[in-house]
Amino acid sequence: MNQQYVIKGGRPLTGEVVIGGAKNAALGILAAAIMTDGRCFIDNVPDVRDVNVLLQAMDGIGATIDRKSRHEVIISGKDIDASGDLIVDNEYIRKIRASYYLIGALLGKYRKAQVVLPGGCDIGARPIDQHIKGFRALGATVKIEQGYVIAEAEDLIGAHIYLDVVSVGATINIMMAASMAKGHTIIENAAKEPHIVDVANFLNSMGANIRGAGTDVIRIKGVEQFHDTEYSIIPDQIEAGTFMMAAAVTHGDVLIRNVIPKHLEAISAKLTEIGAEVEESDDAVRVTATRRLKHTQIKTLPYPGFPTDMQPQMAVTLGLSKGTSTITESIFENRFRYVDELVKMGANFKIVESNTAIIYGVEKYTGAKLEAPDLRAGAALVIAALAADGYTTISEIGYILRGYERFDEKLRGLGGLVEMVSSEKDANKFIYKTGTNG
Ligand code: UD1
């Protein structure tokens, strides 16, 4: 049997949890680190599968990856051999999204890259046309052949680029390549997510000249070379948001530490609106919910709007709230695959026009046998299970491990009855242990 979570629900989560570094910032920052031949010391790196897969792929092209501790790494691009084609490929990197950041990083530094087409969660079409448009505007030729993105340039020259859609990946990728192009680049209609600002700050700490990250116009003056740096990655907004929802849906009381409350505003505002209490301090939020929550309407939007990566967790919460809620998913077209699983727990959802969920709140969920359909939906099912009556098993948790570090351990720290098991025997042991007064 593959690894599964087995969960006994029905207990409020209480206590404190510490949030790790932001996965999506880390992926951009680690890829960008190969752009210097100096030494990048990077701290607050989350120990999650996507990050480890990216580091392995970077090692595969000759970058030096020196893991100092679980959350600290020293990276240098000095020993990358750029005499031949720079090919990034292995069976693991094919499955993640952020492989595309190596195109921007390698193209910027070496003027060439061959990277296997990005994979990632199946939540919609996820094209990379805006990335390619940006690289071409900088003077690169970009082809897609036999499953690879092949980019090369005699030289990269700064350009004025208007993104047709607000894309996190394209904004970061173009920013990386342009930071080593000749002259000035302007990216208009740029994404504004906190991790865009974090990657820009990191690049600037290596000597790049990027202004305006966090607004929709980013201005970049290319430089020839980067130098050593030391950098600490921002806390993970989505991990924090997931624990906020877990506290609310279990009617718990959780202090979520090492966060930037400003990054959580869209989530805090919705939780407050439906009747939870959210108390902010400098680097923590405390979420309490004492009674049944209320319904609301939500539409996912680029930052500072409600994040699409919190949509399934919010849906789980609204599924138990009083009244009828709606959620409209405006970023990805295929992000309601978890609904079939939630229905097995007694949820009452109706999907209309493929991108809107009408949620008729029920009083309780009951435990069921579930399968995680993707990363964030997988985490959402864990939260549902913690709030449900009885036992739930969740398979395909490899998705969840891509983005959450020690998720089960952190939940146990809050009193959640969760165990990661890899055999029937261990599952039964957990059920026996928690069976009587759990
Ligand atoms: C990143 C995050 C992901 C998050 C998403 C939106 C990483 C590794 N992943 O994904 O967790 O859900 O941002 O916040 O950081 N699009 C195009 N053409 C492109 C690029 C994007 O049409 O070239 C569209 C996409 O199909 C989607 C929208 O733009 O509808 C947003 O995508 P984007 O912001 O690029 O998401 P990712 O970078 O894939």
What is the atom index within ligand 1 of the atom nearest the CA of 333? 30
- Burial annotation 132-159 (CB, 10 A radius, 16+ → b, else e): bbbbebbbbebeeeeebbbbbbeebbbb
Residue among 331, 333, 375, 404 whose CB has most ligand 1 atoms within 8 A, to mutate: 331
Q: Ligand 1, closest atom to CA 98? A: 8
C-beta separation of 360 from 328 below 8 A: no
Atom of ligand 1 nearest to the CA of 332: 30
Q: Are 174 and 134 in contact (CB under 8 A)?
A: yes
Tell me which architecture the domain covering 4-20+235-437 has in CATH: Alpha-beta prism (3.65)
Query: Ligand 1: distance of its center to the CA of 15 in Å?
Result: 34
Q: Which pLDDT value is given to residue 437?
A: 47
Tell me which residue of 176, 181, 217 sits closest to 200, measured CA to CA. 176
Residue 386 has φ and ψ, to the nearest 5°, of: -65, -25
Per-residue pLDDT, 123: 63
d(CA 29, CA 278): 31
**What is the spatial distance between Cα 34 and Cα 82, in angstroms, rounded to a whole number?**
12
Identify the CATH class of 23-232. alpha beta
Q: What confidence score (pLDDT) does residue 324 get? A: 98
Say which DSSP state 207 is in. T
Residue whose CB lies within 8 A of the most ligand 1 atoms, among 30, 165, 236, for a mutation test: 165
Query: Which residues are paired to 185 by β-bridges?
Result: 220
Burial class (CB in 10 A: 0-12, 13-18, 19+), 424: exposed
- Cα angle 378, 437, 19; round to 5: 35
Nearest residue (by CA) to ligand 1, atom 5, is 168
Which residue out of 96, 123, 126 has the highest number of ligand 1 atoms within 8 Å of its CB and is therefore the one to mutate? 126
Q: What is the pLDDT of residue 124?
A: 65
How far does residue 98's CA lie from ligand 1's centre (Å)?
A: 10
**pLDDT at res. 334:** 81
Question: Please, are residues 259 and 393 in contact by the beta-carbon 8 Å criterion?
Answer: no
**Cα 125 to middle of ligand 1, angstroms:** 10
Catalytic-role residue among 121, 161, 248, 284? 121
Distance 168 CA to ligand 1 centre (A): 6
Active site residue 121: yes
Q: How many CA atoms lie within 13 A of 292 on its CB side?
A: 11
Determine the distance separating the centroid of ligand 1 and the alpha carbon of 54, expressed in angstroms: 18
128 lines ligand 1 (CB under 6 A): yes
Residue pair 397/19 in contact by the 8 Å Cβ criterion: no
Q: How far is ligand 1, taken at its centre, from the CA of residue 323, in Å? A: 32
Instruction: Find out whether the beta carbon of 24 lies less than 6 Å from any atom of ligand 1.
Output: yes
Is the shortest distance between the CB of 173 and ligand 1 below 6 Å? Answer: no
- Report the separation in Å between the CA atom of 418 and the middle of ligand 1, taken as the mean of its atom positions: 31
Residue spans per domain, the chain: 4-20+235-437, 23-232
Measured between alpha carbons, how far is 224 from 217 in angstroms, rounded to an integer?
Answer: 23
What's this model's pTM, rounded to 2 decimal places? 0.96
- Taking Cα atoms as reference points, which of 165, 167, 126, 131 lies closest to residue 149? 131
Task: Tell how far the Cα of 232 is from the centroid of ligand 1, in angstroms.
Answer: 24
Q: Which residues make beta-bridge pairs with 208? A: none
Minimum CA distance residue for ligand 1 atom 38: 169
Query: In this structure, are strands 160-162 and 184-188 parallel, antiparallel, or unpaired?
Result: parallel
Q: Does the CB atom of residue 377 touch ligand 1 within 6 A?
A: no
Q: Which atom of ligand 1 is nearest to the CA of 238?
A: 11
Which pLDDT belongs to residue 407? 98
Instruction: Name the residue with the closest Cα to ligand 1, atom 25.
Output: 126
Evaluate whether 175 touches 108 at the Cβ level (below 8 Å): no
Q: Does the beta carbon of 127 lie inside 6 Å of ligand 1?
A: yes
Q: Which atom of ligand 1 is nearest to the CA of 125?
A: 26
For residue 56, the Cα-to-chain-centroid distance in whole angstroms is: 19
Q: Which residues of the chain have pLDDT under 50?
A: 437-438
Q: Please check whether the two domains, 4-20+235-437 and 23-232, share a CATH topology.
A: yes
The ligand 1 atom nearest the CA atom of 97: 8
Q: Is ligand 1 within 6 A of the CB of residue 300?
A: no
Q: Is 377 helix (H, G, I), strand (E, B) or coil?
A: helix
